[in-house]
Chains A and B, each alone.
Chain A
Amino acid sequence: NAGVMQNPRHLVRRRGQEARLRCSPMKGHSHVYWYRQLPEEGLKFMVYLQKENIIDESGMPKERFSAEFPKEGPSILRIQQVVRGDSAAYFCASSPISDRVGRGYTFGSGTRLTVV
């Protein structure tokens, strides 16, 4: 069981470029959550997805950010026209069912995005 796989581990982008972050959930998990962690701040919820559906994107910035979880392949968090303020660690978590029943999440090791 490989756990939640995120890639790349580190990503450097120049201002104005696009960043694509990938997350493969644990085998058998159909729910994916993206969180962002800014330096010295707590993890902030961004979006919750199931296969082919965005369930809750209340934490996503209104512009430049999008997420998908296709029927086949990993979940993708896409940031267009990156700015310095997007520099952060982005974590993906997965669960077998909705966390409303109160189970812990399994997190990946994150992607550290640096915008130069």
Chain B
Amino acid sequence: SQKIEQNSEALNIQEGKTATLTCNYTNYSPAYLQWYRQDPGRGPVFLLLIRENEKEKRKERLKVTFDTTLKQSLFHITASQPADSATYLCALDVGANNLFFGTGTRLTVIP
């Protein structure tokens, strides 16, 4: 069955630095991978999607890479701000109209 590992449950970073979150997966070759942000008590909010034939995707201060050989996606937030503090989830397309989510990495940006 599919398995997703997101690096460390929690990541603390100083304001202004680049945060890098890792998503590793096994036993599947997804057509695309998505990243979401989830704040406490709220539903996930879609951030970025990257397809298997794309190496990199950017949106403002966010950058996602997708290495299908390593079975890994990296999610970067540049010039991080305290408002970026949240849990970030990666999700794989596993077909059959559903996404398989990781447990998330809780990011804290320290002022």
Contacts and interface: CB of A to CB of B under 8 A. Distances in A.
Contacts of B97: 33, 48, 55-56, 98-100
Interface residues of B, number: 27
Contacts of B91: 43
Contact of B49 (A41, A59, A102): A102
A3 to B, nearest CB: 9
Find the residue from A58, A104, A108 having the highest chain B CB count within 10 A. A104
Contact of A91 (B32, B43, B95): B43
Contacts, number: 68
DSSP majority for the B interface? strand
Interface stretch (B61-69, B76-84, B100-108): B100-108
Interface string B40-74: 01111111010100000000000000000000000
Contacts of A108: 43
A33 to B, nearest CB: 7
A63 interface: no
Interface residues of A, number: 29
B104 A110 contact: no
A65 interface: no
B34 A56 contact: no
A109 B43 contact: yes
Nearest to B30: A102
Contacts of A100: 93, 95, 97
A59 B45 CA distance: 22
B76 to A, nearest CB: 18
Interface string B8-22: 000000000000000
B103 A40 contact: yes
A110 B42 contact: yes
B93 A102 contact: yes
Contacts of A93: 43
Given A98-B97, A102-B31, A107 B43 contact: yes
